[in-house]
């Protein structure tokens, strides 16, 4: 397999050769998948059927649940299939699809969280203008922008990665196809183009983080001016679930992509793989714990 044109399959080395360990992986992946699937489908169904939940915050929450459903479906079914059939292979097209949809959904997730932070900012800091600013058309446009930005960002990363020449073999040291692992297999002069795309994505991510931070700084300033303790508690309760979800997402991304490459082991990769999908389980739980986060709407 000397170059990209003859590369037809990749081998995912994250899977063990020991049958008992493979069965353990299958049980772990299946448990994560079923729980996340059930929780997010319940969230989507409840919001769709309950007219009282047809508000901007719940509209964005439903989009977030769709993202979570997509993220757990990108690589967990393939991982379960590999575990139960005792194989490690993934087709070239399957690897491309995993990379594209994973980056796409991670990007869309962060963009949606940014939009949700803006929604909380308007609801608490500008309540008299909330219905005018966060009307149905504006909500659809913001959600669509999050999906479109995520897909464009993913197309750049995926196109750049698979335009390179793979001459370092076809063994990916992970449970699924991931860009940092794939770049280790290339022999192209990829440094400049990859730095440019990573810089572009970092600027997008930093912009989202700055907007979220700015929104919450303004929210906290406004909440502290509320004289009633009950009013302050109610205002904080509208933001707490979203703030926890944002923190969990940022921590997961930092753990995955900012850890030293030399410290990357299969144990850490399994932890990152599990943590990536546990967020799809935790998000519905976090939002369900606090019922008051629509009270400012």
Residue 12 has a CB neighbour count (10 Å cut-off) of 23
pLDDT band at 145 (very low <50, low <70, confident <90, very high): very high
Q: Which domains does the chain show, CATH number per domain?
A: 4-294 (1.20.1070.10)
CA 124 – CA 118 distance, rounded (Å):
10
**Cα–Cα–Cα angle for 10, 259, 169, nearest 5°?**
20
Q: Give the chain as a DSSP string.
A: --SGGG--EEEETTS-S-HHHHHHHHHHHHHHHHHHHHHHHHHHHHHHH-GGG-SHHHHHHHHHHHHHHHHHHHHHHHHHHHHHHT--EEEHHHHHHHHHHHHHHHHHHHHHHHHHHHHHHHHHH-GGGHHHHT-HHHHHHHHHHHHHHHHHHHHHHHHHHHTS-B-S-SEESSSS--HHHHHTTB-S--HHHHHHHHHHHHHHHHHHHHHHHHHHHHHHHHHHT---HHHHHHHHHHHHHHHHHHHHHHHHHHHHHSS-GGG--HHHHHHHHHHHHHHHHHHHHHHHH-GGGGTT-
pLDDT attached to residue 231: 77
Q: What is the pLDDT of residues 12-69, one digit of tens each?
A: 887 777 777 788 888 888 988 999 999 999 999 999 998 888 889 899 999 999 999 9
Contacts of 253 (CB under 8 A, 6+ apart): 106
pLDDT attached to residue 81: 86
pLDDT attached to residue 264: 52
Counted residue by residue, the chain has a size of 297
Q: What is the pLDDT of residues 65-97, one digit of tens each?
A: 999 999 889 988 888 888 888 888 889 999 999
Chain centroid to CA 169: how far?
29
- Mean per-residue pLDDT, 151-159: 90
**CB 279, CB 249: distance < 8 Å:** yes
The first and second tokens of residue 59, run together, are: 């509209």
Q: What is the pTM of this model?
A: 0.86
**CB 239, CB 293: distance < 8 Å:** yes
Between 122 and 227, name the one with better pLDDT.
Answer: 122
Q: Name the one residue in this structure whose structure tokens are 């793989």.
A: 273
CA 166 – CA 168 distance, rounded (Å):
6
pLDDT attached to residue 175: 79
**CB 219, CB 90: distance < 8 Å:** no
CA 279 – CA 282 distance, rounded (Å):
5
pLDDT attached to residue 229: 79
């Amino acid at each position: 397999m000397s170059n990209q044109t003859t590369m037809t399959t990749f081998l995912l080395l994250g899977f063990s050769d020991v049958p008992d360990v493979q069965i353990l992986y299958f049980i772990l992946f299946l448990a994560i998948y079923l729980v996340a699937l059930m929780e997010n489908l319940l969230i989507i169904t409840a919001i769709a059927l309950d007219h009282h939940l047809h508000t901007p915050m719940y509209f964005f929450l439903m989009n977030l649940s769709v993202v979570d459903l997509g993220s757990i479906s990108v690589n967990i079914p393939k991982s379960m299939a590999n575990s139960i059939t005792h194989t490690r292979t993934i087709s070239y097209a399957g690897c491309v699809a995993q990379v594209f949809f994973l980056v796409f959904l991670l990007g869309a997730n962060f963009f949606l969280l940014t939009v949700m932070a803006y929604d909380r900012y308007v609801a608490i800091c500008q309540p008299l203008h909330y219905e005018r600013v966060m009307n149905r058309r504006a909500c659809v446009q913001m959600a669509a922008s999050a999906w479109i930005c995520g897909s464009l960002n993913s197309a750049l990363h995926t196109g750049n990665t698979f335009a390179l020449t793979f001459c370092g073999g076809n063994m990916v040291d992970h449970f699924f196809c991931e860009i940092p692992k794939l770049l280790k297999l290339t022999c192209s002069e990829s440094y400049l183009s990859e730095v440019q795309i990573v810089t572009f994505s970092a600027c997008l991510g930093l912009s989202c983080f700055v907007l979220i931070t700015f929104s919450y700084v303004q929210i906290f300033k406004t909440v502290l001016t509320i004289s009633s303790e009950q009013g302050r508690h109610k205002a904080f309760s509208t933001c707490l679930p979203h703030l926890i979800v944002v923190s969990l997402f940022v921590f997961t991304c930092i753990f995955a992509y900012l850890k030293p490459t030399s410290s990357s082991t299969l144990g850490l990769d399994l932890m990152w793989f599990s943590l990536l999908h546990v967020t799809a389980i935790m998000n519905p739980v976090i939002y369900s714990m606090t019922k008051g986060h629509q009270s400012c709407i």
